[in-house]
Amino acid sequence: MEYQLCPSILSADFNRLGEQIKILEKEGVEWLHIDVMDGDFVPSISFGMPVIRSIRKESKMFFDVHLMVSAPERYIQDFADCGADSITVHAEACEDLERAIEQIHDAGVKAGVSIKPATPVNDISHLLEDVDMVLVMTVQPGFGGQKYIEECTEKIQELRELIEKEELDVDIQVDGGINDSTIETVIKAGANLLVAGSYVFNGDLAGNVKKINRKMKEIIGTLE
Ligand code: DX5
Ligand code: ZN
């Protein structure tokens, strides 16, 4: 299984965004988590296509776009065109989730489906064969800096068991409240793509990446 730290630029200093992305690249980070919020599916508004288009010009990282927007089907092609490598839509936001996943693949990018903390795994388990990743939200989507919701651990385990039972190649991403103390719980539960916003960007960016990467390696080492 491939493990990746996916720093979320929601917590970046937008005045220095390009510079901060360079620091992540220098630290060997391969994935960049990009949170798009519309003020409807979630209360807050973040940023959209122009920002992604700008950073795409300067970075070869894997752009993992998390759409926290209502009826995201409207924007799938636009996000693929402006540089997404993967697009994740919320199960709760789509009228026809299967169709949305198909649209993402038709646009030539990887497809993810996300569930909020209160949404059961059961709601998306029939789609596991169709997606590249499932994003288990471990806080209420909408804001960075919240506390990890412990009840979500079971959902990660349940999902990993299902994926293994069906012998599928599906990544499990976790998002919300991930730091050097919660990372152990989520990895042991079966997550392999670890989003971290405030933990990574608050303070010494390079130092934080080094610290969480070290911890990640240590935990993965105990699994083998
Ligand atoms: C929250 C976003 C997250 C956010 C995570 O709705 O989807 O990606 O940036 O932030 P932290 O790591 O601070 O919980
Ligand atoms: Zn996110």
For the CA of 146, the nearest ligand: 1
**Ligand 1 atom nearest 11 alpha carbon:** 9
* Residues annotated as catalytic (active site), given as ranges: 35, 175
Establish whether residue 144 lines the binding site of ligand 1, counting it when its CB lies within 6 angstroms of any ligand atom.
yes
As a whole number of angstroms, the distance between CA 55 and CA 123 comes to: 34
Distance (angstroms) between ligand 1 centre and the Cα of 35 equals 8
Residue 224 has what pLDDT?
A: 74
177 lines ligand 1 (CB under 6 A): yes
Q: How far is the CA of 101 from the centre of ligand 1 (A)?
A: 23
User: CB-hemisphere CA count at 13 Å for 51?
Assistant: 18
Ligand 1 centre from 140 Cα, in Å? 9
Tens digit of pLDDT at every position of the chain (224 positions): 899 999 999 999 999 999 999 999 999 999 999 999 999 999 999 999 999 999 999 999 999 999 999 999 999 999 999 999 999 999 999 999 999 999 999 999 999 999 999 999 999 999 999 999 999 999 999 999 999 999 999 999 999 999 999 999 999 999 999 999 999 999 999 999 999 999 999 999 999 999 999 999 999 999 97
Given the CA of residue 200, which atom of ligand 1 is nearest to it? 12
Angle at 184 between CA 174 and CA 30, to 5 degrees: 55
From the CA of 176, give the closest atom in ligand 1.
Answer: 14
Ligand 1 contact, 44 CB (< 6 A): no
The response to whether residue 139 sits with its C-beta less than 6 Å from ligand 1 reads yes
Q: What is the pTM of this model?
A: 0.98
CA angle 191, 138, 169 (to 5 degrees): 30
CB 65 within 8 A of CB 84: yes
